[in-house]
Amino acid sequence: MTDFPAALPDIPLVEWASAINTRRSVRSYKGQRVDPAALAALHGFCTALPARSIARVAVLDDAPPDLFTGLVVGGYGRVTGAGSAFLVIGRSDADLVQETMGYLGEAALLEATAMGLGTCWVAGSFDRTVASRLVDLGPEEQVFAISPLGYAEEKPRRSEALLKAMVRAKHRRPVLEIAPGFDEEHWPAWAAEGVRLARIAPSAVNRQPWRFELDQGAVKVTVVKRGAEGSVSRLLDVGIAMLHFEVGARLMGASGVWQVLGSPDVALFRPIPR
């Protein structure tokens, strides 16, 4: 078993746990420019992220509106008023590229959320040609997802509210569905908090394709294989949930690392004995 290459040594646990609890996807922005100091801090944060040979996150200070195309013709669910953006970039030929992009991309989104900025993972409805013109891509690198960055409107526009209703954005699968056998009394507190924070993670069309099981003192995450996957890899979602899980586990005192497993298992989080 190998350690997950994107592991973050220092996570601001309290700030990110709070960001996880308050975050929601924002598609309606005020049209104000993002504070340059906040952008500079995000540039520094993203540059310092590990595993750059697999995936990275670029900050785009000025995001053109045609980057955001909306879900279907007519711009339904389109992002409006966002001045800046993250580009989530991966090497399409690298092992673990999807999980790594999910994990590192979510790190950037949580950092931005903790700074009071609105974000929204967008892996389907953006213009890939525009995106790839906005950044220098290395060999085999592609922009797999983006997120707007900006100040959220108090209320989402009507078309965003409709999109949220369509994907039931607030709905989350019951804990016993994502963690069969979950038992608050018998699961260690770190594992329970990890599952609680993973459960509220964002995912493409809110599909929540992650499953957790307790396995001899460690927690294993697997990916659901049933049904059509669509154009966005479920492993991207799982990478996001892995970071949320880790924040919960570490918050409850279990520092540990994800170890990579073979398909259909994804990874195992084993706390380091103290």
Ligand X SMILES: Cc1cc2nc3c(=O)[nH]c(=O)nc-3n(C[C@H](O)[C@H](O)[C@H](O)COP(=O)(O)O)c2cc1C
Residue 155, CA distances (Å) to 19, 20, 78, 158, 241 in order = 19, 20, 15, 9, 27
Q: How far apart are CA 72 and CA 9, in angstroms?
A: 40
Among 52, 124, 157, 161, binds ligand X (CB under 6 A): 124
Q: How far apart are CA 256 and CA 253, in angstroms?
A: 9
Q: Considering beta carbons, is residue 6 or 204 the nearer one to ligand X?
A: 204
Q: How far apart are CA 225 and CA 171, in angstroms?
A: 21
Q: Considering beta carbons, is residue 145 or 254 the nearer one to ligand X?
A: 145
Among 11, 236, 247, 268, binds ligand X (CB under 6 A): 236
Burial group, residue 21, by CB count within 10 angstroms (0-12, 13-18, 19+): exposed
Of the candidate spans 134-142, 148-156, 230-238, 259-267, the one that interacts with ligand X by CB under 6 A turns out to be 230-238
Among 123, 149, 191, 241, binds ligand X (CB under 6 A): 123
Residue 232 in tokens: 């966005």
Roughly what angle, to the nearest 10 degrees, separates helices 36-47 and 97-114? Answer: 150
- Are 91 and 140 within 8 A, CB to CB? yes
Q: Considering beta carbons, is residue 123 or 214 the nearer one to ligand X?
A: 123
Q: Considering beta carbons, is residue 120 or 214 the nearer one to ligand X?
A: 120
The distance of closest approach from Cβ of residue 245 to ligand X in the complex, given in angstroms and rounded to an integer, is 15
Residues 244-263, one symbol each (x = binds ligand X by CB under 6 A, - = not), give --------------------
Q: How far apart are CA 24 and CA 7, in angstroms?
A: 24
Residue 8, CA distances (Å) to 5, 13, 51, 76, 203 in order = 9, 11, 10, 36, 21
The distance of closest approach from Cβ of residue 65 to ligand X in the complex, given in angstroms and rounded to an integer, is 15
Residue recorded with tokens 């999807």: 98
Among 94, 161, 169, 175, binds ligand X (CB under 6 A): 169
Decide: is 206 part of the binding site for ligand X (CB under 6 A): yes
Residues 69-88, one symbol each (x = binds ligand X by CB under 6 A, - = not), give --x-----x-----------
The distance of closest approach from Cβ of residue 271 to ligand X in the complex, given in angstroms and rounded to an integer, is 26
The distance of closest approach from Cβ of residue 250 to ligand X in the complex, given in angstroms and rounded to an integer, is 22
Residues of this chain, 29-68, that bind ligand X according to CB under 6 A = none
Of the candidate spans 22-30, 133-141, 219-227, 251-259, the one that interacts with ligand X by CB under 6 A turns out to be 22-30
| Residue (of 61, 54, 233) closest to 141 by Cα position | 54
Burial group, residue 1, by CB count within 10 angstroms (0-12, 13-18, 19+): exposed
Query: Which residues of the chain form contacts with ligand X (CB under 6 A)?
Result: 24-25, 27, 71, 77, 120-125, 145, 163, 167, 169, 202-206, 232, 236-237, 240
